[in-house]
Amino acid sequence: MRHKGLRILLARIATTIPILFGVVVVTFALIRSLPGDPAVYYASGPGAGPAEIEAVRRQLGLDRSLVEQFWRYLVELGSGRFGNSLQTGQPVLADFAQRLPATLELAILAFAMGVGTAIPLGILAAVKRDGWIDQLCRVLSSTAAAMPGFFFGLILIYFFYFLAGVAPEPIGRLPGWALPPPVVTGFMTIDCLLAGDVELFWAALGKMILPAASMAIFAIAPLLRMMRGGMIDALDSDYVTASRAFGLSRTRVLLGYALPNALLPVLATMGMVLSTMIGANIMIEKLFAWPGIGAYAINALIGLDYAPVQAFVLIVAVLFVLMTLAIDLISSAVDPRYGQG
Amino acid sequence: MASEPAMPQPAAPQRSTPQRSTPLLAIEQLTVGFETATGTVHALDDVSFAIGRGECVALVGESGSGKSITGLAVMRLLGRRALVQAGRIVFDGADLLTLSEKAMQATRGKRVAMIFQNAKASLNPIKTVGDILVDILRSHHHGLSRAAARARIVALLDRIGINEPAERLRAYPSELSGGMCQRIMIAAAFACEPDLIIADEPTSALDVTTQQLVMDLLMTLCRERGVAAIFITHDLALASEYCDRAVVLHAGQVLEQGPVSEVLTSPRHPYTRMLLDSLPYGKDDIGQLKAMGGGLPDLRRNDLPCCRFAERCPQVEPACRGLPLPERRFGPTHIVRCQHPLEPSLAAAPRASAARAM
């Protein structure tokens, strides 16, 4: 019992290594199968001839065999180096460190918005089954599931920025007139507050609302469904009937006996949603010109910049693994049956 | 299931019939339907029976005959699709169906407790057994501290013969055997000293030896403390072994009720006869064993005959379908609802409990 957490940790690490290796192989292969030749791309200048192109190719190491390139890449990874970006000229990790807070800040707000909407709605829908809230939730989750986040983002921009004019310009993290506060945490809102600039804090927060809402809508569909389903299962369970039969109040049963059990499947979905928000909301970042890791990765991809793309995929994969591990550990702490048999 | 319960032998002698004048619980003409997408399920039809203080009544019948629904109706836990169309459930002078939800909540567990077939599933899997029991006790004793509640429960478990009670309370339901879970549920049921316990197939999910231990525990506790019990079962042998009276339900109708010694040995209703004929007890060869003919009618039908057994009955006649069920008395408490009750001679049969399989 006591070492269940440790056992899960070890088991997860053991399965992680082949997963990450697979990710490395697939990314390496896929990116090299893309059309376009980085050597041509980066050598193209007014006077670039075959000799220059060949020189760039050699410099990038692309003249070697694929196996040799892969081996060199693995060795680099093994010593913790992710290479340099050709576009920024900086080490990839430094680029990521600079952009990650923007992504995290947005993801956290979006996650909070999604969870804050989906959890109460899911509970209400389950408690008042087939009532109007339930019908509304059904429409909401179908719509949210069917609509890509970036499309929802476009609609939001159209209505709230273009037509109504209540939302700020959907570009970047700060209004055009503002000077950014000194970077302390990288979280714009927090840095504004640390700099004592409350007005700028509200401006920064305002900038986050539309992109965060676009990301949240993607999260609402699965969370709402899981919450409603989990809650219905719990409410129909024998243990809920039994605790009612023993005279526990409806509220006590709902919050103490049904909700914790219903949250277990939602927890797993939360991890998935949060990982996706951090790692896979490239389109939203692009749409709102948000200077996060997603926008960075897509620029690198378009620019045939191999190192950042490979690093991005690997980092996101590690993130998923860590998130799954965290959920495993929380679930096993809450549920004594978890991870047995 | 390590321990023998430290209990005296069960098989308590049949009590003298309690005073009929003031039953503890009287269900009067209870009619319940369930709204479903495919129509109303007429689950209970004109169900009436009563239980005296300290009395033990078996509610018997096939699966789907309305036994559990009767139990849940008393608890007012039928769910939102249920519709009580008529009737009263008078418990200790008050109609439970008209109580406020708050008053009903104070009744559940405290005055009427219910235990269920699947004890393990009835305990929240992510709470320790101790937390569940403490919650139950504290919901009826406001101001009782957790530590005090726990101490009382440890003492209770100890008294009913559960070994190492403090250790058990730290366990999760999935770490205990089914029999242990059911004994915990029984402890929970007695924790608030109710007047009535509704036991819905409490031993059906257990193996035969555990069944015996759990039934002995349950019934001994009831007898010792003068708690009345409704014992819902399809096991006629268990019913006749442990109960004073039996109420036979079929498709939501009470067809026969009376002392077990009469109902389950010389039944007057063809349905009770049929149930007994399908049991192996006391039969010499397989030829005497008869399968139940037909099945329960679809209770969603709107053209159910007045006697819902009519379509399976070997001696059906037109009156059975068209006329309301008559009430025939064959003793102070033996009531048969049939147009053509069986003659006692026909019914001379071996006692159901005579050859209880062990």
**Mean pLDDT estimate for chain B:** 86
Closest CA to A21 of A338, A321, A287, A340: A321
List of chain A residues whose C-beta atoms are within 8 Å of the C-beta of residue B139: 246-249, 252
Task: Give the residue from chain B lying closest to A129, CA to CA.
Answer: B80
- Count of beta carbons in the 10 Å neighbourhood of residue A10: 11
pLDDT class of A79 with cuts at 50, 70, 90:
confident
C-alpha–C-alpha distance, residues B245 and B18, integer Å: 11
Q: Which of B122, B144, B153, B197 best probes binding to A when mutated, by most A CB atoms within 10 angstroms? A: B122
pLDDT at residue number B106:
92
Domain ranges of chain B: 269-347
pLDDT at residue number B79:
84
pLDDT at residue number A177:
78
Mean of the pLDDT values across residues A197-214? 89
- B143, two tokens: 């101001």
pLDDT class of A122 with cuts at 50, 70, 90:
very high
Mean of the pLDDT values across residues A129-135? 89
To the question of pTM greater than 0.90 for the whole model, the response is: no
CB A93 within 8 A of CB A293: no
Strands (E), B240-342: 245-250, 253-259, 328-329, 335-336
Does residue B204 register a pLDDT over 90? no
pLDDT at residue number A188:
86
pLDDT at residue number B58:
95
pLDDT at residue number A295:
85
Q: Do B108 and A244 touch (CB under 8 A)?
A: yes
Q: Do A245 and B114 touch (CB under 8 A)?
A: yes
Is A91-334 a domain of CATH 1.10.2020.10?
A: no
CA distances from residue B273 to A17, A103, A127, B343 in whole angstroms, order as listed = 69, 75, 45, 11
CB A273 within 8 A of CB A111: yes
pLDDT at residue number A54:
81
List of chain A residues whose C-beta atoms are within 8 Å of the C-beta of residue B136: 243, 246-248
Calculate what percentage of chain B has a pLDDT beyond 90.
Answer: 61
Q: Do A245 and B132 touch (CB under 8 A)?
A: no
pLDDT class of A44 with cuts at 50, 70, 90:
low
CB A310 within 8 A of CB A27: yes
Higher model confidence: residue B351 or residue A232? A232
Task: Give the residue from chain A lying closest to B138, CA to CA.
Answer: A248
pLDDT at residue number A340:
64
- B320, two tokens: 């059975």
**Mean pLDDT estimate for chain A:** 86
Closest CA to A41 of A59, A29, A53: A53
pLDDT class of B21 with cuts at 50, 70, 90:
low
Does residue B351 register a pLDDT over 50? no
Does residue B18 register a pLDDT over 50? no
Calculate what percentage of chain A has a pLDDT beyond 90.
Answer: 21
pLDDT class of A140 with cuts at 50, 70, 90:
confident
Mean of the pLDDT values across residues B63-80? 92
Tokens 């249920």 found at? B82
Domain ranges of chain A: 91-334
DSSP H or E stretch at residue B49: strand B39-51
pLDDT class of A194 with cuts at 50, 70, 90:
confident
Does residue B3 register a pLDDT over 70? no
pLDDT class of B161 with cuts at 50, 70, 90:
confident
- Count of beta carbons in the 10 Å neighbourhood of residue B346: 13
List of chain B residues whose C-beta atoms are within 8 Å of the C-beta of residue A336: 125-126, 172, 174-175
Q: Which of A232, A236, A246, A253 best probes binding to B when mutated, by most B CB atoms within 10 angstroms? A: A246
Tokens 């009276």 found at? B245
pLDDT at residue number A280:
66
A219, amino acid identity: A
Does residue B19 register a pLDDT over 70? no
Does residue A107 register a pLDDT over 50? yes
Identify which of A244, A246, A260 has the shortest CB distance to residue B126: A260
Q: Is B141 on the interface with A (CB under 8 A)?
A: no
pLDDT digits (tens, 9 = 90+) for B123-141: 999 999 999 999 999 999 8
- A292, two tokens: 């996060």
- B48, two tokens: 């009436």
Identify which of A247, A336, A337 has the shortest CB distance to residue B139: A247
CA distances from residue A58 to A14, A40, A116 in whole angstroms, order as listed = 38, 12, 53
Most confident of A15-29, B32-46, B344-358: B32-46
pLDDT at residue number A46:
65
Q: How many contacts does A have with B, using Cβ atoms within 8 A?
A: 80
pLDDT class of B4 with cuts at 50, 70, 90:
very low
Does residue B253 register a pLDDT over 80? yes
Higher model confidence: residue A7 or residue B268? B268
Mean of the pLDDT values across residues A156-170? 86
pLDDT at residue number A276:
84
